[in-house]
A and B are shown apart, each in its own frame.
Chain A
Amino acid sequence: MARKTVEGSFAVAEAVKNCEPDVAACYPITPSTHVAEELASFYANGEIKAYIATEAELSSMSACIGASAAGSRTVTVTSSQGMALMHEAVYNAAGMRLPIVMIVGNRSLSAPLNIWNDWQDSVTERDSGWIQIYCENGQEATDAVPQAFKIAEAVSLPVMVCFDGFYITHAVEPIDVPSLEEVKKFLPPFRPAVKLDPKNPMSMGEYAFPAHYQLFRDDLQKDMVASEKKVKEIHDEYAKMFGRSYGSGVLEEYRSQDAESVLVSMGSVCGNAKEAVDQLRAKGEKVGLVRLRLLRPFPYAAVAKALEGKKIVGVFEKSYSLGALPPLYGEVLAAAADLKSRPVISSFVGGLGGKDVTVGNVLELYGKMKQGKKLVEWV
């Protein structure tokens, strides 16, 4: 393991390379461009066997589908409009049960056009059948990569590693990048049960009539729900081997066990939230943070447990569902629905299109939560 002071994108790209994918298929898009560029450099140096410079993101995901069906470990990188353009193939990859890993530098969706961070791109794809891991910093994103491949290949489901555009993709931090040899010990070679093989000529991507289609979707749902356990297991295994852990692997409880007032959020903003918690704790306020790491499958039981006995809960998210309650808020409400004494749960949305969310903003949130239920208050 080598500690480097590098941009998040570079560390993540190196982690991808050390997972030895056969094929990377990418189309550059801000703010995840540096990951794609770095993978192209690895290819140029012979460290990745194939790099397909596609003509559009839809083709990146499609090339991953082909490569994965052919039995290769495969990866793509995207953000924002790129993911929106991929949409059809994103669903298709999950339905075909292909363990593709997608690195997502989270960014807003147009219009208006905006290149900065929020989570609307990957949150919009939450129903697609992809496991989604949201990372707080460059180190976590780097560590999530080998875990993502291992999870994907263990449960035959694709995985997104989501990290905030610019805040993490472009932030230079000291990061420990697991080496090729270390990753080899953690991540076994990809050996799919079925692949495109002339010696065993199966047909993949079949068409399904009404008698079968729903059976496939039901099976996918059950396996998605069951994958939460695997996400935890593999996180724990990684933690044991590399000495770094992120809560339980599905969520992290930061000074929240004895808290009365808890904020729930994801991603890089949790760095500021932790600072706010520390400041309030120093003043004697019983506050804490629950940082979700896994948005899909949604860890309902773990969230319920983390919120048990709390009086006040606020959900802060950089995502929105126009015409409805914000997605993360809706999930937290559902998770808390069966608690014996339900906390007052407020919804806050902010940071859209890169609008800065400071420690001061988070401190204000804790103040507002105490005043009673807030519904979709903008930050």
Chain B
Amino acid sequence: MAEYEPLFSAGHTACAGCPMPVIFRHILDITGPDVVVVNATSCSEIISSAYPRTAWRVPYVHSLFENTPAVASGVANALRAQGNDHTKVIIFAGDGSTYDIGFGALSGMLERNEDVLYVCYDNEAYMNTGVQRSGATPFGARTTTSPVGRVHHGKEIFKKPIVDIVAAHKIPYAASASIGYHADLAAKVRKALPMKGSRFIDVLSPCVPGWGIDSAITIELAKMAVDCGIWKLVEYENGNFKLNLKPGQRRPVKDYLSKQARFKHLTEQDVAKIQAQVDEEWKKY
């Protein structure tokens, strides 16, 4: 048997322990080589495609930070215009470009229902530029632009519900996933890939320096986020909502928060507030 050659190669320069390359590799294992990857400016771009080298073994294009959905729209339209109806177009973008700066372009792409699978690796802040808060940063988290001061203590607003917002565009598929639940992620990619039109998956991807965690526990934390109910595995398939996993006994959010330096400043009351908020949300299910 030929040696397995992943479509996202070793030698990339992601931080030790970063699970983002795992997300890419797992997804490309499913798509195979007949794919074009469109990448937003992000950690993933910097660590994968510094001239004159690249970690990608599939056709890959990076343009800018905020325009990736439009670039992918151009790629998809060009391929179809050339009579190519088989090559899949996939976006890999971080939460900064997805939730914030590229949100208009994302909405435009979804409204046009472009034939693109959009994967957001969500590490919950602008990590590439040194951990500034994004629309994906959760309540309470300390970042360099939501610092802990005498008056304000970390981010004081909740994370944007991106999957719900994306699903409201009435696209065929929108889901959340976590690299801690790799089989769920794989199942979602397998489901979304053959669909026509816009598909979207937001994948939780813990960040070693940004979250202030040990490099060994990134996968463990991605799983724990789901087990404590802070990160839900959901999908909207043709508008129909489904909760993919309901933990029998949710772990306390404290287990998850206490492992991360970005939540170190939280008081017992703060943690209780986050727990109450999570409990409230789970009453729906």
Contacts and interface: CB of A to CB of B under 8 A. Distances in A.
Do chains A and B make direct contact within the complex (CB under 8 angstroms)?
yes
Interface of A: 22-23, 25, 49-50, 52-56, 58-72, 74, 88-89, 92, 96, 195-198, 200-209, 212
B186 to A, nearest CB: 21
B63 A62 contact: yes
Given A197-B59, A207-B50, A72 B81 contact: yes
Contacts of B70: 25, 54, 58-60, 62-63, 66
Interface string B103-130: 0110110011000000000000000000
| A-B residue pairs, 9 tightest by C-beta | A66-B74, A55-B108, A59-B70, A62-B70, A62-B67, A63-B74, A72-B78, A67-B74, A203-B54
A59 B34 CA distance: 25
Contacts of A50: 77-78, 80-81
A284 B254 CA distance: 93
Nearest to B69: A59
B52 interface: yes
Contacts of A201: 33, 56-60
Contacts of B107: 55
Contacts of A88: 64, 67
B39 to A, nearest CB: 8
Contacts of B54: 203, 206
Given A55-B107, A198-B36, A70 B64 contact: no
Contact of B105 (A59, A71, A209): A59
Contacts of B71: 62-63, 65-66, 69
Contacts of B75: 66-67, 69-70, 196
B82 interface: yes
B62 interface: yes
A67 to B, nearest CB: 4
A66 B63 contact: yes
Given A50-B77, A52-B77, A58-B66, A198 B58 contact: yes
Nearest to A198: B34
Given A64-B74, A198-B36, 20 more contacts: A22-B78, A23-B77, A25-B70, A52-B74, A56-B104, A59-B104, A59-B105, A62-B67, A62-B74, A66-B61, A66-B78, A92-B64, A195-B59, A198-B33, A201-B33, A203-B54, A204-B59, A207-B45, A208-B50, A212-B51
Contacts of B66: 58
B94 to A, nearest CB: 15
B61 A205 contact: yes
Interface in B65-89: 66-82, 87
A206 B82 contact: no
21 contacts: A22-B77, A22-B81, A23-B77, A50-B78, A52-B74, A55-B111, A58-B66, A62-B63, A67-B77, A69-B75, A72-B77, A72-B81, A72-B82, A74-B74, A88-B67, A195-B59, A198-B58, A203-B60, A205-B61, A205-B63, A209-B50
Contacts of B34: 198
Given A59-B70, A62-B71, A64-B74, A204 B62 contact: yes
Name the residue in B60, B81, B104 with the highest tally of chain A Cβ atoms < 10 Å from its Cβ. B81
Nearest to B79: A70
A311 B252 CA distance: 86
Contacts of B73: 25, 52, 54, 59, 63, 66
Nearest to B71: A66
Contacts of A55: 104-105, 107-108, 111
Contacts of B33: 198, 201
Given A52-B73, A54-B70, A59-B73, A212 B63 contact: no
Nearest to B39: A205
B87 A198 contact: yes
A195 to B, nearest CB: 8
Contacts of A62: 63-64, 67-68, 70-71, 74, 105
Contact of A68 (B46, B60, B74, B79): B74
Contacts of A206: 49-52, 54, 62
B178 to A, nearest CB: 28
Contacts of A72: 77-78, 81-82
Given A206-B50, A207-B46, A207-B50, A25 B74 contact: yes
Contacts of A53: 112
Contacts of B76: 66
Interface string B181-203: 00000000000000000000000
Given A59-B105, A92-B64, A201-B33, A207 B51 contact: yes
B18 interface: no
Given A55-B111, A62-B105, A196 B36 contact: yes
B131 interface: no
B230 interface: no
Contacts of A208: 50-51
A59 B74 CA distance: 9
Nearest to A195: B59
B63 A22 contact: no
Name the residue in B45, B49, B77 with the highest tally of chain A Cβ atoms < 10 Å from its Cβ. B77
Nearest to B87: A198
A21 B66 CA distance: 25
A126 B230 CA distance: 50
Nearest to B33: A198
B38 interface: yes
Nearest to A72: B78
Contacts of A196: 36, 59-61, 75
A66 B40 CA distance: 12
B278 interface: no
